């Protein structure tokens, strides 16, 4: 029954648009102690939730009592076009869609409900889209979905870097797939690509230096030592992912395709800086960027203008120094000083 149910599960996942489906046990991850040491070193920065529920992340049984299996799923967000141009500003590729949590939730919920019906009326399962207290990348590697690269992100030999991970933790016992081995070899392209040297060594990331952390997770002022390195990125960073040679096997988004928001491929910095609260909510409605709030996005816009803006941006930035949000005003003044410095004013 376990093997037959597993085969049915993979077929159902494919029908629903998932790009890969693999199984592992619900045993604790082998590198839980490494995660705990990472937390103790403070490399998670202000992401306090990682520390608060860390005891669950190293033991899936504390997430779902009597869990026996973890179903690991991949969802591609690769787009064949508009990926390698040089726009005025950049959003991370995954954010150029309606919020992936919302898009993936419906098919993932359907898959979980279907699975519980097939497994038995008393079977319990929990589904997550990078929101659960699970060391999902390590368990995904153990399931064979991909392998953790030297940048610490998951790499699939058939999807490259460009995919989301979702998982279903379940009481049902399923035959596990063989784990994936690391296939980075001697390549260090991702480490060399990082603008802020956040990848301290292979498989060691200091989130406090990562541009994705600085532009999304950090709620306060961006340390000045990193502002120039952020360049024109206003939400996240793809540099370490884009450098990976396994991306030659990337697959066009399927489940995410209809949620693509091409208007975010080439954002206009001055337009973004002009947004009031209502304008911000409308512009970023149903996107992952809305959680960073206006103050966070406009903070990042000011940094980008400080790095790539011209004198034409100065009036808008001067106006932003009077913003009711001190965070925006501070970064606007920094941007003004940077533009004037570049143009020897």
Which residues are catalytically annotated?
Answer: 130
Q: Is 206 strand, coil or helix? A: coil
Which among 301, 287, 280, 310 is positioned nearest to 222, based on CA atoms? 301
Task: Confirm if 165 and 73 have CB atoms less than 8 A apart.
Answer: yes
Pairing assessment for the beta strands 69-76 and 233-235 based on DSSP bridges: unpaired
Segment (H or E) for 293:
helix 293-308
Task: Compute the distance between CA of residue 296 and CA of residue 256 in angstroms, rounded to an integer.
Answer: 26
- Name residue 269's beta-bridge partners: none
Report the length, in residues, of the chain. 345
Q: Nearest-CA neighbor of 236 among 203, 271, 264?
A: 264
Q: Are strands 199-201 and 204-205 parallel, antiparallel or unpaired?
A: antiparallel
Provide the 3-class DSSP secondary structure of residue 64.
coil
Q: Which of 103, 131, 134, 127 is nearest to 113 (CA)?
A: 127
Q: How many CA atoms lie within 13 A of 166 on its CB side?
A: 28
Task: Report the C-alpha gap between 71 and 279 in whole angstroms.
Answer: 40
**Planar angle of CA 243, 248, 249, nearest 5 degrees:** 125
């Amino acid at each position: 029954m376990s093997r037959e149910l597993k085969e049915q599960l993979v077929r159902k996942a494919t029908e629903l648009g998932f790009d890969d489906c693999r199984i592992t046990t619900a045993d604790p991850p082998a590198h839980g102690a490494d995660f705990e040491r990472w937390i103790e070193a403070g490399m998670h920065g202000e992401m306090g939730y990682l520390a608060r529920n860390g005891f669950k992340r190293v033991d899936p049984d504390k997430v779902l009592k009597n869990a026996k299996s973890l179903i690991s799923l991949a969802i591609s967000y690769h787009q064949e076009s508009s990926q390698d141009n040089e726009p005025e500003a950049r959003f991370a590729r995954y954010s150029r869609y309606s919020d992936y949590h919302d898009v993936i939730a419906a098919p993932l919920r359907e898959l979980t409900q279907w699975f519980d019906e097939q497994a038995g009326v008393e079977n319990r399962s929990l589904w997550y889209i990078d929101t659960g207290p699970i060391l999902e990348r390590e368990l995904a590697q153990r399931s064979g979905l991909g392998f953790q690269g030297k940048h610490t992100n998951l790499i699939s030999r058939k999807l490259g870097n460009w995919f989301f991970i979702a998982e279903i933790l379940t009481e049902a016992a399923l035959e596990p797939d063989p784990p994936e081995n690391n296939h980075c070899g001697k390549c260090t392209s991702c480490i060399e690509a990082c603008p802020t040297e956040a990848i301290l060594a292979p498989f060691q990331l200091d989130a406090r230096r990562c541009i994705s952390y600085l532009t999304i997770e950090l709620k306060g002022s961006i340390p000045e030592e990193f502002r120039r390195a952020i360049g024109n990125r206003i939400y996240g960073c793809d540099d370490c992912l884009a450098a990976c040679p396994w991306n030659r096997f990337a697959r066009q988004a399927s489940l995410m395709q209809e949620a693509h928001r091409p208007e975010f491929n080439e954002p206009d910095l001055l337009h973004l800086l002009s947004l009031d609260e209502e304008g911000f909510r409308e512009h970023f409605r149903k996107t992952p960027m809305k959680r960073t709030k206006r103050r966070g996005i406009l903070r990042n816009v000011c940094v980008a203008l400080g790095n790539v803006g011209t004198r034409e941006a100065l009036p808008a930035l001067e106006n932003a120094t009077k913003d009711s949000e001190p965070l925006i005003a501070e970064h606007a003044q920094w941007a003004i000083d940077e533009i004037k410095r570049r143009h020897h004013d």
